[in-house]
Amino acid sequence: MKITSVTDAGGVTTATIENTYTANKTSDFASELGSKLQTSASLEKIFEAAAEKYGVDIDLLKAIAKAESNFNPKATSKSGAMGIMQLMPATAKGLGVKDAYDPEQNIMGGAKYIASLLEKYDGNISYALAAYNAGSGNVAKYGGIPPFEETQKYVAKVLGYLQDGGVTIPEEWSTVVSSGGVCAAESSSEDTETTLSDVLKSLFTREDYEDFLRLFLERLLTRLDEKAAGSSADEDTAEDEGDEETSTTKAAAEKTKNNSDAYVAYRNFKNTNRIAIYLRPENSSK
């Protein structure tokens, strides 16, 4: 990495960085995340992937992360900035970041954002950092780094990290929990926290679900028939109630059985033989 620094008469340092990566800014990284299972991921590998994907020097990304949050994925500022790269809610949404506290999405979002700023300011890293901290509007308003103490200190801090040879990720954040993407694909199966749903899906097929529901409905229908038959037997022994009353009771029992939800479901099931109408496991094919 090559950094060229120039200090003007006012004492403000402007630096330009040369990138050796080829940027790919057309794709939405959030939509490309593969696995939704939580996995243990190396923060270093996430930075490497983000640097390669968006054409930003990895040392610059890590310097920004150190200045912003010291690599804390759960960091939240008073203004509402979130995660390792301290993305504001509106900025995160515009970048396609669905979970700003997910390390991979956050770093990818920060890399995409700083890449766009470097392109906007023709590689002027000082202006890009100022815009990252104070917004492009303030850079345009003041024709360069805004006269804000916080922003000027921020730019100097990040440039200082770069001049010192980069930064090292703290041991406590070297491995983080992420939701997928390129790093998840490199994780071993031992790192994956498999859910109960995944286990059930691996043990039971769609046919198993159909067989289970068929047996359940058949058993339920048998119980309904037994109950109806029992009611009929009781009515036959109650001669003192009269033939008309007995006939009415039988009809009511039969009507109750035929109109019960379980019986209707079973009858429809036999007619359609489509178990998916009653039980549609998540992610099962239609």
| Least-confidence region, from 6-15, 35-44, 83-92, 139-148 | 6-15
CATH classification of 2-193, choosing from 1.25.40.20, 2.40.50.140, 1.10.3720.10, 1.10.530.10? 1.10.530.10
- C-alpha dihedral sign at 226, 228, 231, 235: negative
pLDDT averaged over every residue in the chain: 75
**Token pair listed for 63:** 């310097």
CA separation for the pair 203, 101 (Å, rounded): 33
Q: How confident is the model at residue 216 (pLDDT cuts 50, 70, 90)?
A: confident
Q: CB-based contacts of 64: which residues, under 8 Å, 6+ apart?
A: 85, 110, 114, 129, 132, 158
CA separation for the pair 118, 96 (Å, rounded): 19
Q: What is the pLDDT of residues 180-213, one digit of tens each?
A: 544 332 333 333 344 555 555 555 666 777 777 8
Provide the percentage of residues in the chain whose pLDDT is more than 90.
43
**Token pair listed for 120:** 């906007």
- pLDDT of 17 reads 57
- pLDDT of 191 reads 37
- Is residue 245 among the annotated active site residues? no
Determine the 3-state secondary structure of 198 from DSSP.
Answer: helix
- pLDDT of 73 reads 94
State residue 26 phi and psi, 5-degree precision: -85, -25
- pLDDT of 8 reads 57
- pLDDT of 246 reads 54
Q: Give the closest residue to 41 by CA, choosing from 33, 29, 52, 53.
A: 33
Local structure of residue 18 (DSSP, 8 states): E
CA distances from 187 to 44, 98, 190 (A): 14, 22, 8
- pLDDT of 229 reads 82
- pLDDT of 164 reads 86
Report whether pLDDT(58) > 50. Answer: yes
Q: Give the closest residue to 147 by CA, choosing from 123, 130, 161, 125.
A: 130
Q: How confident is the model at residue 279 (pLDDT cuts 50, 70, 90)?
A: very low
Catalytic choice (68, 226, 241, 244): 68
Other residues' Cβ atoms within 10 Å of the Cβ of residue 286: 4
- C-alpha dihedral sign at 243, 245, 246, 251: positive
- pLDDT of 221 reads 87
- pLDDT of 247 reads 60
Choice between 37 and 176, residue whose per-residue pLDDT is larger: 176
Residue boundaries of the structural domains of the chain? 2-193, 199-277
Q: CB-based contacts of 52: which residues, under 8 Å, 6+ apart?
A: 21
- pLDDT of 262 reads 56
| Least-confidence region, from 66-75, 112-121, 150-159, 234-243 | 234-243
Q: Give the closest residue to 68 by CA, choosing from 100, 116, 90, 39.
A: 100
Contact 284, 206 (CB under 8 A): yes
DSSP string, 26-89: SS-HHHH----S-EEEEHHHHHHHHHHHHT--HHHHHHHHHHHHTT-TT-B-TT--BTTTTB-H
Q: How confident is the model at residue 273 (pLDDT cuts 50, 70, 90)?
A: very low
Provide the percentage of residues in the chain whose pLDDT is more than 70.
57
